[in-house]
Structure 1
Amino acid sequence: MERNYDVVVVGGGAAGLSGALTLSRARRSVLVVDSGEPRNAPAGHVHNYLGREGTPPGRLLAIGRDEVASYGGEFTDGAVTSLTRVDDGFRVALADGREVVARRLLVATGLVDELPDVPGVAQRWGRDVLHCPYCHGYEVRDQAIGVLATVGPLAVHQALLFRQWSEDVVLFLNGVDAPDPERAEQLAARDVRVVAGEVAALEVEDDRITGVRLASGEVVPRRAVVVGPRFWARADLLAGLGLEPVEQLVEGHVVGTHIPADPTGATKEPGVWVAGNVAGAQAQVITSAAAGLTAGAAINADLVAEDTRRAVARRR
């Protein structure tokens, strides 16, 4: 039988759970649908999350689930196969064949990282292949760090950032154009060495990176490698509601996509909110959680306004 909820939250990461917690505490009926594919699953710990510094990602999600459940929030594990607008809101079809109806939707499906096609990168991703200095910079402090250029001048920015954590940073151009004179001077001033030539693979021994192997056969010893993925919003579900991801540009280069929304997470489609990495690639765990809270509060306010309109109509 069809179940009706005030809100269905699609995605059970930090953004989705935070939104669900806010709404459950507002005494809304909430269902969280989670496919169990957190983006940060390969990482050992969550950082820069005040009060939860160093918590393993899976542990943080388990704590969040318990908190939501304690206020009556419900969960179902699996995927959402379609979202359809109906008179009462939205019909949400689940992979197990069930359907539920929601008055409002909060979509927090995150993103997919498109990694460079270099052997070893995907296998070491989230451990000693990194992209965010604030997430992992301290953990590779004072180590030999390699930055693998992927998206134009952004690699220079990454190299200069990671230079804050280590005096031994090498930028591998890997077929990307050499830095312009201004950027080259910046790198030289910070003692960041630039290595031309294609990167063939990462060298791995004893379950950790030991170097970067060039197509020439030369191996440059490194203990950690930084890459710049492209970030593609997990937003296919929203196409049926008329919401399409747009390109996210940095210095004229496409670094990924996101679903546009206002500061509360409200999209152009009435009744649909987004939060977390589906709305912005730069959101870290704590900012995704904050976005979920903001969206949850906005959704509740929208429902209060609707409930009030209906109450006034009945009174009249």
Structure 2
Amino acid sequence: MQQTWDVIIVGGGSAGLSAALMLGRSRRRVLVLDEGRPRNRFAGHMHGVLGRDHSSPLALLDDGRAELGRYDGVTLRSGVAVGAEAADDVAPDAHAPASGFTLDLADGERLLARRLLVASGLTDVLPDVPGLAEQWGRGAFVCPYCDGWEARDRGVAVLATSAAQVHQAQLMRQLSDRVTVFAHGAQLPEEARAGLLARGIGIEDRAVAAVIADEAGALRGIRLDDGTEVATDAIFAGPEPEPNDPVLRSLTVDRAAHPMGGEFAVVDAMGRTSVPGVWAAGNVTDPRSSVPYAMAAGSMAGAAINADLVEEEVRAALAAPSGREV
């Protein structure tokens, strides 16, 4: 008979591994499925992570996986989850009351779980500017708090595909007095333009044709549509966040528009979604989720899932025939 996991976690990033740690320490049978494509894999270093500042985000995940090795109830494996559905009879033994989910993988395998946590992150859909993708995580970034310090006092270009990048520019002005907003066709409100100019932030209204690199592949600057090349040391852009959430979609979890773009699953403070038994944490719920935020969200979700399972086990024990061990 196929094993029923207490919890299957879809996604082995900061949120998913933190949840697995909490659940493993509660002696839960946990399976972590991971595609091996974390959002921050393009970054050589992560910043603003207490105790790990300026260290590799991939090294953090390696260390997290190693730590989980001491908990024999936690299993990590590669896999791509494509959908799930509720099932009332997935539990094969008295220690797992009959309720839960079937999880479908891309290779056709079907797994069984009492609870699901989706922590599968998001994909940054970059502006369609030639050369930008090649610089992503090297010379082009999204978050001033994550990568702004490294561009302090240097030439900074903010690629404004929408008015939302005005905030990026103002944050970067805190770190450098050499900031220019490349409007790239975005309609900047007059009030926003006035605020930029008032703080000495330049505005370039000509369209951007390409991001250009030197012979070694390092960022050199921006080429405008009239052929002008503008040197710059760092680019900040606003990609469209696209949650990696086919599992949540298949379960018709409630979603809502996010101020940063896209629609994301709605969760409570513990990561609980609108579907009983399903939690979500990290970037799959919020594009602003940094590594510390994702770790905290995963930890809280793991604790909440364990508590939910305990409550179910209490109900099962009360319902069991007298003298029967549950």
SS of the aligned residue for 1:293 comes to: helix
User: Is residue 2:119 matched to residue 1:118?
Assistant: no
Offset at 1:217?
Answer: 1.0
Offset at 1:315?
Answer: 5.4
Q: Report if the CA contact (8 A) 2:120-2:245 is conserved.
A: yes
User: Is residue 2:172 matched to residue 1:171?
Assistant: no
> Match for residue 18 of structure 2?
18
Q: Report if the CA contact (8 A) 2:84-2:104 is conserved.
A: yes
> Match for residue 313 of structure 2?
307
Q: Distance in 1 between matches of 2:107 and 2:192?
A: 53
Offset at 1:185?
Answer: 2.3
Which ranges in structure 1 are unaligned for 5 or more consecutive residues?
none
1:267 counterpart (270, 273, 296) = 273
1:163-202 residue pairs with structure 2 within 5 A? 163-180=173-190, 182-202=191-211
Q: Report if the CA contact (8 A) 2:83-2:104 is conserved.
A: yes
1:135-214 residue pairs with structure 2 within 5 A? 135-151=146-162, 153-180=163-190, 182-205=191-214, 206-214=216-224
SS of the aligned residue for 2:221 comes to: strand
Structure 1 segments (4+ residues) deviating >3 Å: 95-98
Q: Report if the CA contact (8 A) 2:24-2:68 is conserved.
A: yes
> Match for residue 84 of structure 1?
85
Q: Distance in 2 between matches of 1:249 and 1:100?
A: 35
SS of the aligned residue for 2:39 comes to: coil
Q: Report if the CA contact (8 A) 1:44-1:57 is conserved.
A: yes
1:218 counterpart (197, 216, 228) = 228
1:290-301 residue pairs with structure 2 within 5 A? 290-301=296-307
Q: Report if the CA contact (8 A) 1:156-1:179 is conserved.
A: no
> Match for residue 50 of structure 2?
50
Q: Distance in 1 between matches of 2:268 and 2:21?
A: 21
Q: Which amino acid aligns with 1:102?
A: A
| Structure 1, 93-102 or 131-140: larger mean CA deviation | 93-102
Q: Distance in 1 between matches of 2:287 and 2:3?
A: 33
What is the number of equivalent residue pairs in this alignment?
310
| Structure 1, 185-194 or 263-272: larger mean CA deviation | 185-194
Q: Report if the CA contact (8 A) 1:208-1:223 is conserved.
A: no
Q: Distance in 1 between matches of 2:46 and 2:321?
A: 51
Offset at 1:174?
Answer: 0.5
- Give deviations 1:260-283, integer Å, cap 9, x for gaps: 111111001000000000111111
User: Is residue 2:105 matched to residue 1:104?
Assistant: no
> Match for residue 232 of structure 1?
242
Q: Percent identity?
A: 45
Which ranges in structure 2 are unaligned for 5 or more consecutive residues?
89-98
